[in-house]
Every structure is written in structure tokens, then in C-alpha cells.
Amino acid sequence: MVANKLTRYIFVSNSVLGILITLMTGFAASAQAHNLSQMDIPPLEVQPAPSCDIQAPDGGEYAYAQLHASQFQARQSTALPPMTRRWAVVCDAPTTLTLQVRDVQSSSAPMGDSTQFGLGKVNGSGNLGHYQITLSHADIDGRAAQLYETSDASAPGIAAAQWAISTEKYYGWTERDGGASHGKLFAADITVSPVLNSLQLTNGPLVNGAELNGLAEVIFTFGL
């Protein structure tokens, strides 16, 4: 399979969690057998890949109000309200779909937990906080579906209704346990749940407040 990659950048603005979207496409090719003794060059029959479009509300932005120093506690973390957006991928032909997520701000994420994404640095070496990304309420062509999680992009895994996304896993849409399903319209809720660190982890107080600076890269892969 040959893959092409299309990247769309979402810029981080004031107090916004941004998502960087990458779309990977692939196509399958088959060659017709010929008599090699005649030294013919076998013709290559290429079946073009579907064309897909990502529909992310607000361009993939999750906007929170300006943070204030009073929201950061001396020794306790502070959870912000979760925010959900419904994403969709629309294709012009039946295909399977998987996604993976990379943390652009991984240097500010908690160590040892691949489901926590960083919110950026503050006060020099301090970490502002972290957030979790949840994938849920999937459907395929308007029919209720599940999501599978796997460590191998080529092998579907266990299906469930909801997953906390890990940067070490791949996720796909399925209408049956154990196999990827084909469709033209894939949808799911993507929820972010931010947590502000205590002042111990922010490297001191935030006199002038702070801005959320989370940025993740979502890679959608589809093909025949």
C-alpha cells in the first residue's frame, strides 16, 4: 500500500486546546500475471483510494476561558469542565478508518501515563497541567458502532463503547468485535478533560494567569 499524507494545522490561540489534524490515504494495487519469458512489463492496475474529508467543529479547537492565578491550588490539582465535540470523516467510497494521536506538548505531560497530554510549560520549567482525550459514541453511516483499540495498526483489537486515547495505541470503527468495518461516514465524540496542576508542579504562582497550550496531532488513516 502506498500512503499519502495531508496535514491541516490548527493554530493555538488565547486559552485554546488545539488539535493538529493529519489525514493519511492509501491505495491498493494489483498486477496481472504475464509470461515473464517474453520480458513483457506487467501492466499495473491501480484502484484509486477513496477521497475523505474531516469535519471538526470549530476547526478542532476546544476553547476555555482565560485562566486566573486563583484557580491554581497550593497542593491540589484543579479539574476544568470536560468539553465534547462531534467529529466526522466523510468519504466518497466505502473504506475502513483508523486514527492515532500524538502529543505535540509531550514534554509537559505526566510521565508514565500515555493517556495524559501536556498543557505546556509555565514559569520556566513548570508544567501547566494535562488533559485526557476520550473517544466515544461512534457510528458508521448513521448506525451505532463501537471502537476498537490495538497496538498493531494492521490488526483490529478489542471493541468497546469508549476509550481514553493513548499515544501508544491505534483506534478504529467496527460494527462487530474483532474486525474493522467499511463505511462512507464515520463519526464519534471527542472529549477533552483538562486538569490544572498544583503550584508545586507549576514552579510557583502564576501572577499574570496563564494560557492553555495543549496541542495534539490526530492522524486518520483510510484505504481499501
The pLDDT tens digits for 102-135 are 999 999 999 999 999 999 898 888 999 999 999 9
Alpha-carbon torsion (148, 58, 21, 215), positive or negative: negative
pLDDT at residue 210 above 80? Answer: no
pLDDT, tens digit (0-9, with 9 covering 90-100), for 84-110: 999 999 998 999 999 989 999 999 999
pLDDT band at 9 (very low <50, low <70, confident <90, very high): very low
Beta strand residue intervals within the chain, DSSP E: 2-8, 16-31, 44-47, 52-55, 62-63, 78-79, 83-103, 117-118, 121-122, 126-127, 129-140, 143-144, 146-150, 158-160, 162-164, 170-174, 183-196, 215-223
For residues 105 and 3, give the distance between their C-alpha atoms in angstroms, rounded to a whole number. Answer: 26
Please state, as a whole number, how many other Cβ atoms lie within 10 Å of the Cβ of residue 94: 13
> Can you give the pTM of this predicted structure?
0.81
Dihedral sign of CA atoms 165, 166, 170, 174 in order: negative
Nearby residues of 155 by Cβ (< 8 Å), 6 or more positions away: none
Separation between Cα atoms, residue 14 and residue 183, nearest integer Å: 37
* pLDDT 10s digits, 34-87: 333 344 555 555 556 678 888 988 888 888 877 778 888 989 999 999 999 999
